Amino acid sequence: MDLDVKVDKQDRATVLTLQGEIDVYTAPRLRQAIVDLVEKGERHLIVDMEKVDFLDSTGLGVLVGGLKRVKTKEGSLSIVITQDKILKIFEITGLDRVFPIGTSVDEVRIES
C-alpha cells in the first residue's frame, strides 16, 4: 500500500488529503510535503486522515515535526480523524491533547 498526498488551498488553510498507509517507508513523503508547504509560506495546515488505512509512530513524528514548523511561524496544524483506530493512536500517545482534532475539514478550519 502506498501513500497519496493531495494538496488543496482552501481560504486561509491548506488541506493535505492523505490516502493509504503512513509508516517508516511512506512517512518521508508526508514530511516533504509539509516542509515544502511551510517553505512556500503556508502557515495553516489541515491534515485530512479520513482515508488513511494505517498510521504508526513514524507518521506521528512527522506530524509533530510539522506542528513545530508551523508554530515557529505562528501557524497551526489541525487534523481530521473519522476512524476510531486512528484516533486511538493519538490517545495512547497523548497527542490528542496536542493537535486540534475534528471530524471534518470544516470543523477544524474554524479552529485554525
Asked whether the beta carbons of 34 and 62 are under 8 A apart, the reply is yes
Tell which one of 16, 45, 62, 80 touches another protein (CB under 8 A). 62
Amino acid at 4: D
Residue 86 or residue 105: which is nearer to another protein going by CB?
86
> What's the min distance (Å) between Cβ of 53 and another protein?
10
Supply 20's cell numbers.
Answer: 493509504
- Residue 80: Cβ within 10 Å count: 25
> Parallel, antiparallel, or unpaired: how do β-strands 101-102 and 44-55 relate?
unpaired
DSSP H or E segment with residue 22: strand 13-22
The binding track of 32-51 with respect to another protein, each residue x by CB under 8 A or -, is --------------------
Residue 92 or residue 110: which is nearer to another protein going by CB?
92
Tell which one of 5, 64, 87, 98 touches another protein (CB under 8 A). 64
